[in-house]
Amino acid sequence: MNLEKVVFGFFVLLAATLNFGFFIGDIANPDLHNIYELFAALAVSLIATVLKFGDRTQIGAVHLATSLVADLQLVAASVVWVWAKEISAEGMTAGHTASMVSLSGGALLANLVSVVLLVIETVTFHRG
């Protein structure tokens, strides 16, 4: 068993599941989207991105691209939250929540592509 692959797979899957946990629920109801889950998804996604830097293969490049897209989407969702809570006079509205959740949905799609790539890479791995 390759410990590096285990750690890599763990962070890829954890990023996807945390993102899914934040994404699921009524898109405009802020009570259903825990902000700590968004920040955990962002932190784990950034760790997964760092782990993807060492791979010099073509599939590694696509892994890195999907991770960068997820990071960008989650950073944007976090910026929307900071804007709504700290700067905007209206506070957290249904529109702000919908924007946050939509951006995390884009990140979720990128995470799912990464998980599919991981599964394909694992299935096509040849020993020997």
User: Could you read off the pLDDT of 14-26 as tens digits, one per residue?
Assistant: 999 999 999 999 9
pLDDT for res 42? 97
Secondary structure of residue 1 in the 3-state scheme: coil
H/E stretch holding 92: none
pTM comes to 0.92
If one compares 117 and 55, the residue with the highest pLDDT of the two is: 117
Quick count: other Cβ atoms within 10 Å of Cβ 60?
15
Q: Which conformational region is residue 91 in: left (phi greater than 0), alpha (psi within -120 to 50 degrees), or beta?
A: left
Domain ranges in the chain? 3-123
Q: Which residues, in sequence order, are CB contacts of 15 under 8 Å at separation 6+?
A: 41, 44, 45, 47, 48, 67, 70, 111, 114
84: amino acid identity, one letter: A
Which token pair is 35? 């902000």
Can you read off the two tokens belonging to residue 61?
């490049």
Question: Which tens digits make up the pLDDT trace of 93-127?
Answer: 999 999 999 999 999 999 999 999 999 988 887 76
